[in-house]
Structure 1
């Protein structure tokens, strides 16, 4: 199989970032952005910009008849996942490969309940420092997609197909042989950096330097480390240092998505991050005081919108 058609749902930071790259290489009709009619009208009127360049995207509504995509990428926020699963039905066929770039550790399972786990490769987006304000996205580091099979050590034909496509489109990626651990590592990082920067109403620079914010971030990450062992996915000090090194390369002026939500007075993914940690802590009898503090502080910020 060869990937010739790609559909993307979700035109937030990741959707614009990945879509803009692919749109420079793929035929316009082969790259489809799924959005409801109101959003399409808004995008066509106000346009979408990536690093100052107007994006030339091919928008389709969920109702439009469409040939199934060879590759379908979810880049919505977690609270939009349920609607997105329904919206992509005309783009899913027997051979469709699905990647989910959502935060958290559950989106693949949720999508798989509708379309079958055999269509999904596990996926993590990392290393980007994109900031989206209104209809304009700016970034210094594009980052990459890390993907692979759920079973450690396995490389399926579907994974090879996606790797070949990314090679041809010069799309940065890593084909990972232990994706469940990668998912937990990214979850740990999001729990730390997203929530801490949001609480401090700052940027990556705040947690790249020594100080209270960085200490809080690492303490929140260590709570995830303790829970990972209980879940049978052991995150080590070496893993922690790896993810800290990833963070160190981001633009100091960039911001994670939750901090951007706070700036825009949007409700955040705190339930996906601290909420999940607190629930797992209760399940395993593991204290999670740092995440409880982050949860409470972010909920307080949101209550003042």
Structure 2
């Protein structure tokens, strides 16, 4: 397949890198010139289990640099850049192109559908991870990390099955979901568990998981989110709040940092409005109190303000 990763940061490079290794033609699109220059000059370097390996990829700062349509667009930009990103990618979306969001949080599929048509859009969630070590050099956590994708209407189509098969062949453990909204909430629970707390404490996972009080706070935040999902009629696979806390770190190295912490370290804003903030909004809509998530949102907003 000809695949374009729009938002080729840490996770985009991790996913794009293993797909390229599996024989697909992969374009990594990143607005950062330093990242693109490194990818063009040296290829992509993936670090896994302490060992580096090189992968040949294509790189661009704009989708307009790609000739022709692609088979699959994977959107991995920050939530607040979704519309801008997909608008810039319209030039590579043909009649048969599939657009797949693997972003954190809720609501991206509606933004994508508005831009390119709902018939092109798949939704998904991934538990894979990555950390940028330097331009063109990424620490990846993909082995054994689950990815779920699905049609918005819950059908299991040939196209979603084909994409899942390609992902699995590349070592991305992928299943097709007939309950993608529930799938998205399941992933949201994982982000609720660790994202804000990692950003607030500045701790990578190894240290974060060593503090019992942090775990207690995380489990309380997830419990609120699960109560909101239940009130909204969402069908979850998680049955106990601590499952999300355990799943968040499963298979990832101690040095791994949640995306919110990575954003704050770069001096940029986070996706808090689309993660814990989404829990707060849905809680207000369905009359479910969310004081822990409200506090986490307030803390991250304060840190963001201090950095601007």
Same fold (TM over 0.5): yes
Q: Is the Cα contact below 8 Å between 1:129 and 1:255 reproduced in 2?
A: no
> SS of 1:226's equivalent?
helix
In structure 1, C-alpha distance between the alignment counterparts of 2:242 and 2:176, rounded to whole Å: 21
Q: Pick one of 27, 31, 39 that aligns with 2:26.
A: 31
> SS of 1:202's equivalent?
coil
1:170-205 Cα offsets, whole Å, 9 max, x none, are: 443122232211100111221221011111111223
1:20 aligns with 2:17: yes
1:140-199 Cα offsets, whole Å, 9 max, x none, are: 4442421122334x3112212212323444443122232211100111221221011111
Greater Cα shift, 261-270 or 240-249: 240-249
Q: Cα offset for 1:48?
A: 4.8
Between Structure 1 and Structure 2, the one with more strand by share is 2
Q: Residues 67 and 267 of structure 1: is their aligned pair in 2 closer, same or farther, counting only changes over 3 Å?
A: same
Q: What runs of 5+ residues in structure 1 fail to find an aligned partner? A: none
1:273 aligns with 2:275: yes
1:113-262 aligned at under 5 Å gives the runs 113-126=114-127, 128-135=128-135, 136-142=137-143, 143-152=145-154, 154-209=155-210, 211-235=212-236, 238=239, 240-249=241-250, 250-262=252-264
Q: Is the Cα contact below 8 Å between 1:34 and 1:88 reproduced in 2?
A: no
Q: Is the Cα contact below 8 Å between 1:122 and 1:149 reproduced in 2?
A: yes
User: 4+ residue runs of structure 1 moved beyond 6 angstroms?
Assistant: none
What residue in structure 1 maps to residue 299 of structure 2?
297
Greater Cα shift, 104-113 or 61-70: 61-70
Paired residues, number: 298
What residue in structure 2 maps to residue 112 of structure 1?
113
Greater Cα shift, 134-143 or 258-267: 134-143
Q: Is the Cα contact below 8 Å between 1:123 and 1:183 reproduced in 2?
A: yes
> SS of 1:124's equivalent?
strand
Over aligned residue pairs, what C-alpha RMSD do you find? Answer: 2.5
Q: Cα offset for 1:88?
A: 1.0
* TM-score for both structures, normalised by structure 2: 0.86
Q: What runs of 5+ residues in structure 2 fail to find an aligned partner? A: none
Q: Cα offset for 1:255?
A: 1.4
